[in-house]
């Protein structure tokens, strides 16, 4: 059967990562977390002492940055210049830096080619903010996953609880700021593609959402072939 490119966009905390992993497993596809790439850029830029709007500094950092994904026993790992950075990129500081730096054309252009390369062999579930609108406008099936602000904040808080001392209020504030950054930027703002299927996950489990997606994919495949 034809291998597809499936995109899942949406704001942070909507459940994209959980759902993308289950869906990719179900289909026997690879799963790519494109937010991790923006976080990888942020980690390197912060280590160089840059501000997220320092385009010249970012350009220099990017010129010597090589990132790739590996699939190991511990799942998807992000390798940056030969070092596994997967466990270093989930801090609130990196989230905020990644969101700010992701508005810079120099960063988006650098990651555009990399993401398209990762989709060359098809059979991939891509999660991000602009997968269906900019990176893969011809994707076979596009989803936009959303949830209420309260639910998304709670989910993110549960995720972070064991690693940081963030309060729920702080997480809510961070998510609001990131939503604003990610949606208000000029370049590839967060929004559903015209042909995306929009799913609100507020009252549904990850498995319910995946079941709905599988249904959409199967129907599309029947229509297309
Ligand atoms: O999905 P995430 O929270 O790990 O992403 C971190 C930041 O990266 C997010 O705030 C915005 C940016 N991002 C983006 O601009 N485009 C993507 N396709 C993925 C992430």
SS (H, E, C) 43-54: HHHHHCCCCCCC
Identify the CA nearest to 90 among candidates 25, 163, 139, 167.
Answer: 163
Q: Is 155 in the pocket of ligand 1 (CB under 6 A)?
A: no
**Alpha carbons 166 and 157: distance in angstroms, whole number:** 8
pLDDT at 121: 87
Q: What is the pLDDT of residues 136-163, one digit of tens each?
A: 999 999 999 999 999 999 998 988 877 7
Domains of the chain by start residue, with CATH = 5-64+91-210 (3.40.50.300)
For ligand 1, what atom is nearest to the CA of residue 130?
A: 18
For ligand 1, what atom is nearest to the CA of residue 178?
A: 10
Q: Cβ(145)–Cβ(68) under 8 Å?
A: no
Question: Burial of 32 by CB count in 10 Å (0-12 exposed, 13-18 middle, 19+ buried)?
Answer: buried
pLDDT at 73: 85
pLDDT tier at 36, thresholds 50, 70, 90: very high
Among 20-29, 178-187, 188-197, the range scoring the smallest mean pLDDT is 178-187
Residue 72: other Cβ atoms inside 10 A: 10
The 3-state secondary structure of 78-139 reads: EEECCEECHHHCCCHHHHHHHHHHCCCHHHHHHHHHHHHHHCCCCCEEEEECCHHHHHCCCC
Residue 225 has pLDDT above 60, yes or no: no
Q: Cβ(127)–Cβ(183) under 8 Å?
A: no
How close is the Cα of 27 to the center of ligand 1, in Å? 24
Report the share of the chain in percent with pLDDT over 70: 98
How close is the Cα of 127 to the center of ligand 1, in Å? 9
Residue 61 has pLDDT above 50, yes or no: yes
Q: Is 178 in the pocket of ligand 1 (CB under 6 A)?
A: yes
Q: Is 38 in the pocket of ligand 1 (CB under 6 A)?
A: yes
State the pairing for strand pair 30-33/5-9. Answer: unpaired
pLDDT tier at 6, thresholds 50, 70, 90: very high
pLDDT at 161: 79
How close is the Cα of 57 to the center of ligand 1, in Å? 20
Nearest CA to ligand 1 atom 18: 128
pLDDT at 111: 97
Mean pLDDT calculated for residue range 6-33: 95
Q: Is 128 in the pocket of ligand 1 (CB under 6 A)?
A: yes
With H, G, I as helix, E, B as strand and everything else as coil, classify residue 213.
Answer: helix
pLDDT at 187: 87
Cα 185 versus chain centre, distance: 16
pLDDT tier at 72, thresholds 50, 70, 90: confident
How close is the Cα of 128 to the center of ligand 1, in Å? 6
How close is the Cα of 109 to the center of ligand 1, in Å? 14
Q: Is 35 in the pocket of ligand 1 (CB under 6 A)?
A: yes
For ligand 1, what atom is nearest to the CA of residue 36?
A: 4
Nearest CA to ligand 1 atom 7: 99
Statement: the pTM of the whole predicted model exceeds 0.75: yes
Q: Cβ(135)–Cβ(6) under 8 Å?
A: no
Identify the CA nearest to 128 among candidates 106, 84, 105, 98.
Answer: 98
Mean pLDDT calculated for residue range 11-34: 95
């Amino acid at each position: 059967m034809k291998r597809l490119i499936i995109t899942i966009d949406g704001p942070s905390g909507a459940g994209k990562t959980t759902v993308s992993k289950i869906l990719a497993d179900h289909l026997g596809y690879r799963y790519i977390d494109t937010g991790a790439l923006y976080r990888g850029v942020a980690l390197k830029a912060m280590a160089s002492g840059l501000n997220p709007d320092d385009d010249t500094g970012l350009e220099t950092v990017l010129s010597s940055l090589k990132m790739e994904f590996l699939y190991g026993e511990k799942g998807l790992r992000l390798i940056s210049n030969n070092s596994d950075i997967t466990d270093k990129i989930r801090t609130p500081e990196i989230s905020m830096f990644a969101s700010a730096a992701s508005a810079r054309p120099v960063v988006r252009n650098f990651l555009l080619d990399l993401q398209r390369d990762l989709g060359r062999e098809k059979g991939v579930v891509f999660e991000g903010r602009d997968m269906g609108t900019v990176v893969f406008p011809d994707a076979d099936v596009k989803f936009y996953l959303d949830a209420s602000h309260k639910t998304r904040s709670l989910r993110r808080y549960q995720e972070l609880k064991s690693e940081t001392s963030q309060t729920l209020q702080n997480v809510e504030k961070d998510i609001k700021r990131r939503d604003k950054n990610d949606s208000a930027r000029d370049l590839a703002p967060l929004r559903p593609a015209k042909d995306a299927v929009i799913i609100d996950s507020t009252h549904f489990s990850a498995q319910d959402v995946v079941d709905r997606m599988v249904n959409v994919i199967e129907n599309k495949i029947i229509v297309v072939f």
